[in-house]
Chain A
Amino acid sequence: MTQLVLEQLLNGLQFGLMLFLIASGLTLVFGIMDMINLSHGSLYMGGAYLGAAAAQASGSFVTGLLAAMLGMAVIGVVLELLLLRKLYLRDHLAQVLATFALILIANDLVRMIWGPQPLLLNPPAALAGPVELFGFSYPAYRLLIIGVGLLVALFLYVLVSHTRLGMWVRAGAANRTMAECMGVDVRWLFTGLFALGAALAAAAGTLLGPLLAVQVGMGESILILAFVVIVIGGIGSIRGALVGALLVGIVDTLGRALLPTLLRAVSSPEVAGHLGPALASIMIYLLMAAILFWRPQGLFPARA
């Protein structure tokens, strides 16, 4: 039992860190520009496809990962300059319409280029097997994801709280107009941030590729999870995104693995069999609703 819990905790940590990669870009878009970007999931999907294609072509997973990040960063800059800039000052409805349109376009473009079949993405051969860990075996590839996720989190932490660039970002998130008055060029800062967010989403897409299927529509389900993460954490806060992502990742994973068993212990197997899966899949939404109910600004509000 403890082994199962430990293993699921690691899985939750791994999933949470990947959610963090996706949510960190999204929360800044939301926080600084007050912009609803539904197409962030498409950046994640595009990254997974680019990564899978590049990895197949080059035979190297690392090349695929780097190509995906670079490619989506470029696409992110183009998108930001051509379209999103025109949307910052519009109302949320216009942003919903435009970025929903981007989802439709991205899904069909991907189908056009790679066809309707899911792409196969293999983990690097050296990491295909399991490793021994505290007396049980755990897939080496998942450990790698945890490591990469932690590194990125550390990188973002240093970037945001210990550099001049990060200071501008935090200033922009807290009060954009005031930051502009103090001489921060929020427009260009934001183009850079958007590219970084796109690259991180692409990294998550490629890293999760071997575990989940690389297919059209993969962005839609993860997007909503990313929204849940940033709403829980507080819109615009990187720290909130990290805490929210870990919370969502672990609650979701543990809930799915353990809740049916726990319910069986306290109620009849029949009730547990029906209620368990339903309850497990809505746990994170309940968590979000509860947090919004008691702390409407999220756990770590970025705005003063």
Chain B
Amino acid sequence: MKASPRSNAIEAAVLFVAALLPFLLQAMGEEFYIGFATRLLIFALAATSLNFIVGYGGMVAFGHAAFFGGGAYIVAFLMQAGIVSAWIAWPLAVLAAVVASLAIGALSLRTRGVYFIMITLAFAQMIYYSIISLQSAGGDDGLPLEQRSTLAPFDLASDMTLYWVALAALAGCLIALRRLANSRYGRALAGLRQNEQRMEALGYPVDRLKLVCFVIGAGIAGLAGALLVNQNGLASPTQLYWTQSGMLLVMVILGGVGQRYGGMLGAIALLGLEEALGLMTEYAHLYIGLALLAVVLFAPRGLAGLAGLTDLRRA
């Protein structure tokens, strides 16, 4: 997919605002919201990673929570084992997500369409049930993090530092994914999305290309999970449950499938709406649901399409 100058501008604008936000909040004396803003960035990262699989790779994966929540659990496990340093724990969280997704992806890619959706869901549920039945993982209560990871020379205990780290991770991944999308590999993925059989006939190793895409997305989700557990202070089973996978998928569709900033847009819109409605009503999800229905019926290409910003033409 060719990145249009317009979507580059959007992405830059959002990141620019995100970079200004801490100073803005400080000026307004609302530092309390920095935690929420960090959450937004982390979910934006997770949704972006899923959008890479769904939008670029054309695979509707319904088990992304396994890698996102899994990354959180790995960091919490390692903390329990005495490994506090983020320089060790976070790469291991990514590595675990990569290894798990290699196995899950290789098996799941034997199926297509609805069956792919269902088998990724099944694998994620297996991981969910395995972890909640582990007593050492805290069962239904989850695994609390005694302290944040340490990221020498930075002081992660400060909320502000965690925000900057999350922002750096998001910006880094967005840039990396953009370069990937414009590379030979990205072109091959775009071809696959258009016509899988033709690409196969041209000699491309279709399943391997898709598997690599699945694994890259999962690895980034693992990193997002490592950030999330530091922000939440808890690795909880709800982060592994299928509704979390559903929420991430909703963010991607809401923002715009295959739009480079679609995941980011969807995460910000959904969590922002949830937070704002939560202040006003006890039944925020009712209104969010109605808003999502409106998007399905009236804005088929998500928020990005609504703004006329699609840079992906569907075949």
Contact = CB atoms under 8 A, between A and B. Distances in A.
Interface of A: 30, 34, 36, 38, 83, 86-87, 90, 92-94, 96-98, 100-105, 107-109, 111-112, 220, 224, 227-228, 231, 235, 274, 277-278, 281-282, 285-286, 288-289, 292-293, 296-297
Contacts of A281: 129-130, 133
B60 interface: yes
B246 A96 contact: yes
Interface stretch (B85-93, B94-102, B190-198, B247-255): B247-255
Interface in B110-164: 110-111, 113-115, 117-119, 121-123, 125-126, 129-130, 133-135
Given A92-B114, A97-B249, A289-B119, 17 more contacts: A36-B117, A83-B293, A87-B296, A93-B60, A93-B253, A98-B293, A100-B250, A101-B290, A104-B286, A105-B289, A107-B285, A108-B283, A108-B284, A112-B286, A278-B133, A282-B126, A289-B107
A244 to B, nearest CB: 12
B122 A288 contact: yes
Given A93-B54, A93-B257, A224-B125, A288 B285 contact: no
B178 to A, nearest CB: 22
B218 to A, nearest CB: 17
Nearest to A30: B114
Contacts of A83: 293
Contacts of A103: 243, 246, 289
A165 B113 CA distance: 29
Contacts of A293: 107, 110
Contacts of A224: 121, 125, 242
B34 interface: no
B209 interface: no
Which of B118, B253, B285 is most buried by chain A, counting CB atoms within 10 A of its CB?
B118
Interface residues of B, number: 46
Nearest to A38: B246
Contact of A282 (B107, B115, B129, B254): B129
B206 interface: no
Contact of A292 (B115, B133, B254): B115
